[in-house]
Amino acid sequence: MWDMDGTLVDTEPYWLTAETELVHAWGGQWSHADGLQLVGSSLERSSLILQSRGVDLPTDEIIDVLTDRVLTLLRDAVPWRPGARELLEALRDAEVPTALVTMSIRRMADHIAEAAGFPAFDIVVAGDEVTQGKPHPEPYLRAAMALGVNAADCIAVEDSEFGVAAAVASGATTIAVPLHVPLPPSPAYTLWPSLEGRGLEELFDVHSRVSR
């Protein structure tokens, strides 16, 4: 089970650009540090914070404006994190079921899934399809159910504090690959500095150690 933004693709700078432009358009201020506070959180929560900074739009409209801007920035190329597509391809070749579990809305998730260039995911759980977003475990529990397995039998790969919290709470073996926001070592998850050079054996070794 894969998180998307920040884990598979380095879209966080695009989201920061979209947030900054929107807040500035309403006369507010938005910094890089402000944007980092939203990494991994639901778009509904992000919208509430943007509203508190003066963006006088309904939540759904904020989500659409941000998503439209990020999709525009993605038009030229999708910034895959090193090793991400290769690992997805290895999983597909080995016929390992996979899920994309993201707080981005469905049209954004579908865009990234299609950009892989092969059927990388068996199912997609998007932010506009869950009642409670990360850090609540619902997205991962829903994905495991859709795959027909228990979350405890799954591996979740995440990059952010909220995402890791959701994955750990679901019971999944969790691998954290932080990017823009560092994560401390913890017995609750396994820290990898990168996906580059990682293979299926290493993924399954982590799960084997955790599930003993």
CB atoms within 10 A of CB 22: 21
Backbone angles phi, psi at 162, to 5 degrees: -65, -40
CB atoms within 10 A of CB 72: 11
Rounded percentage of the chain residues whose pLDDT exceeds 90: 92
pLDDT digits (tens, 9 = 90+) for 122-179: 999 999 999 999 999 999 999 999 999 999 999 999 999 999 999 999 999 999 999 9
Q: How far apart are CA 141 and CA 187, in angstroms?
A: 21
pLDDT, tens digit, for every residue of 25-71? 999 999 999 998 888 788 999 999 999 999 999 999 999 999 999 99
Given a cut of 80, is residue 19 above it in pLDDT?
yes
What pLDDT digit, counting tens, does each position of 107-120 carry? Answer: 999 999 999 999 99
For residues 74 and 13, is the Cβ–Cβ distance under 8 A? no
The tokens describing 111, both together, are: 């865009």
DSSP, collapsed to helix, strand or coil, labels residue 177 as: coil
Position 212 confidence tier, pLDDT thresholds 50, 70, 90: low
What is the mean pLDDT of the segment spanning 193-209? Answer: 95
What pLDDT score does 211 carry?
74
pTM of the model: 0.92
Question: In the prediction, which pLDDT does 198 show?
Answer: 95
Strand-pairing partners, residue 155, are 173
In the three-class reduction of DSSP (H, G, I as helix; E, B as strand; rest coil), residue 206 is classed as: helix
